[in-house]
Chain A
Amino acid sequence: MSKKNEVSFFDGKGLRNDGRRLDELRPIELEVGVLDNASGSALIRQGGNRILVGVFGPREIHPKHLALPNRATLRCRYHMAPFSVEDRKHPAPSRRETEISKVIREALEPVVFTEYYPRTTIDVYIEVLEANGGTRCSGITAASLALADAGVPMRDLVVACASGKVGGKIVLDLNDFEDKYGEADMPVAILPHLDRVLLLQMDGNLTPKEFHEALDLAIEGSKRIYEMQKKALRDSYPIPDEPQEEEVVEVEK
């Protein structure tokens, strides 16, 4: 952590270092069905993040002792490409990635109807190609689209967004700079329709009141991303136009 007076988070107009307002998301692009070999896939670009997610399954599980008699096993790997960060990341899974894989799996567990597919596995592979803060949230947003693209039955989409505190203010969707030098970062994943929290982590320093404010902001931001998720799915599976009434062509005899 750097000393407070060394970094400034806001410009003269009160805008953040990337020009955003306090409650503004980074620009987000979502694309569904981007990988041929996966059962379902999605690509998310969120600010400087670029993450590909591939879902395989429900399919036969190996090794077989991992099979569960009453439900599908959910397996999840969050992985960063060596070139996704400033200093090359060793490709072997780090302790950070192990923990993130666990919290993402736990965020997805309550949403998938795993009971429909006993003794199988649903594998979710999240590959971070370019990272600029908040990758676990971007990864979750894309993973739930990939699950939907795979046709896996779900109770709702899962959507995630972080909030936090930088330069004394509660802000939405922190970038890498704000995460590193700010006072607090709090990733949140929710079921947008049911207002349930699936993932919550926090590090930094928040008063109980600031926590309330940050939680509300993260949920509000997530709901905005949820609208983009639905649009991405609709664009990927367009509803065919109503069939036009066939024109009857009189054929002259």
Chain B
Amino acid sequence: MSVTPSESTISSLARKRVEELLGEGKRLDGRELTQCREFEVETDLIGTAEGSAQVKLGKTIVLVGIKAGTGEPFPDTPDQGVLTVNAELVPIASPNFETGPPREGAIELARVVDRSLRESKIVDLEKLCLVPGKAVYVIFVDIYVLNHDGNLIDASVLAALSALMKTKLPKYTAKKDGTVTRKSGHSELKIQNMPISLTTGKIGESLLFDPSLEEEEIMDSRITMTFDSEGNVRAMQKGGHGVFTTEELKTLVSTAGEKTSEIRDRLKELIK
């Protein structure tokens, strides 16, 4: 069951100050409304994973590890590999994260990242089939949030994409009955698309790209839009207890689209 979360008194006090600043077109950290925080990417830092990447978006840190192996396909897609996304909001990342099974926040994060990757057809799942109906590649994308300073969705999409770009699949020989044996060597995982998401927060009437944690705590709502390499929308998710006007959404679909192509170019520079 989904329950209204409680709001801290501090955040309702902070809201006044933030709204005053926004009235002058300014943000707490000095950014422009449509300015995202700088990000850094490090790849291949987990030796035991088939692919990994850590993204720092401002002070937000997200680590993604890819584990790839073999398993049975889903019965309704016998000739496709399996791609699974999970997110863990580990307690080291924020005083507000607790131990235990994923709550709705972590589930929503994983599912929005999953849709961004899946709908943009980031990998050709049919190429990950070993024996139709019997054995396919199974790829786990595990999102590990290490420091929460806002906008986990965009940081996670960037980290997941970076990790998949660096993933090396172990090679297998497969028999017709579905038994697989590990061969030596690895092959590159082919990435066909580079989905980039952009989350916009709304505070009062102001729309701000890439909200920080301070802004997230007081914002009314957010909208995440994921764009593919061609600039088309592949996934969207509105969150929060506020509303958007249709004009805001229609404008955002162009401005956010442009911004994601800048982010994509920057990521290409960072990962070669």
Contacts and interface: CB of A to CB of B under 8 A. Distances in A.
Contact of B119 (A71, A104, A205): A205
A191 B238 CA distance: 15
A55 B240 CA distance: 22
Nearest to A106: B241
B103 to A, nearest CB: 8
Interface in B21-40: none
Contact of A203 (B235, B243, B246, B250): B235
Interface in B213-272: 221, 223, 228, 231-246, 249-250, 253-254, 257
Nearest to B110: A95
13 contacts: A76-B1, A95-B107, A99-B107, A101-B2, A102-B104, A105-B4, A109-B241, A196-B243, A200-B223, A202-B236, A204-B119, A207-B232, A219-B246
Nearest to A111: B243
Nearest to A66: B3
Interface string A195-222: 1111111111111100110011001000
Given A101-B1, A106-B239, A110-B241, 19 more contacts: A73-B4, A74-B3, A95-B107, A95-B110, A98-B2, A103-B237, A105-B3, A195-B245, A196-B243, A197-B243, A199-B238, A200-B223, A200-B244, A205-B234, A207-B232, A208-B232, A208-B257, A211-B253, A215-B250
A208 B4 CA distance: 33
A73 B3 contact: yes
A50 interface: no
Q: Which one of B2, B119, B228, B234 has the greatest number of beta carbons of chain A within 10 Å?
A: B2
B6 interface: yes
Q: Which one of A98, A114, A216 has the greatest number of beta carbons of chain B within 10 Å?
A: A98
Contact of A215 (B4, B234, B242, B249): B249
Contacts of B59: none
Nearest to A101: B2
Interface in B113-172: 115, 118-119
Interface of B: 1-4, 6, 104, 107-108, 110-111, 115, 118-119, 221, 223, 228, 231-246, 249-250, 253-254, 257
Interface of A: 66, 68, 71, 73-77, 95-96, 98-99, 101-106, 109-110, 114, 186, 191, 194-208, 211-212, 215-216, 219
Contacts, number: 117
A241 to B, nearest CB: 39
Contacts of B241: 106, 109-110
Contact of A99 (B111, B238, B245, B254): B111
A236 B257 CA distance: 46
Contacts of B111: 95-96, 99
Contacts of A186: 236
Given A99-B107, A206-B232, A75 B238 contact: no
A75 B4 CA distance: 7
A98 B104 contact: yes
Contacts of B4: 68, 71, 73-75, 105, 109, 114
Contact of A101 (B104, B238, B240): B104
A186 B249 CA distance: 13
A208 B2 contact: no
A200 B221 CA distance: 11
A212 B232 CA distance: 12
A63 B240 CA distance: 23
A109 B5 CA distance: 11
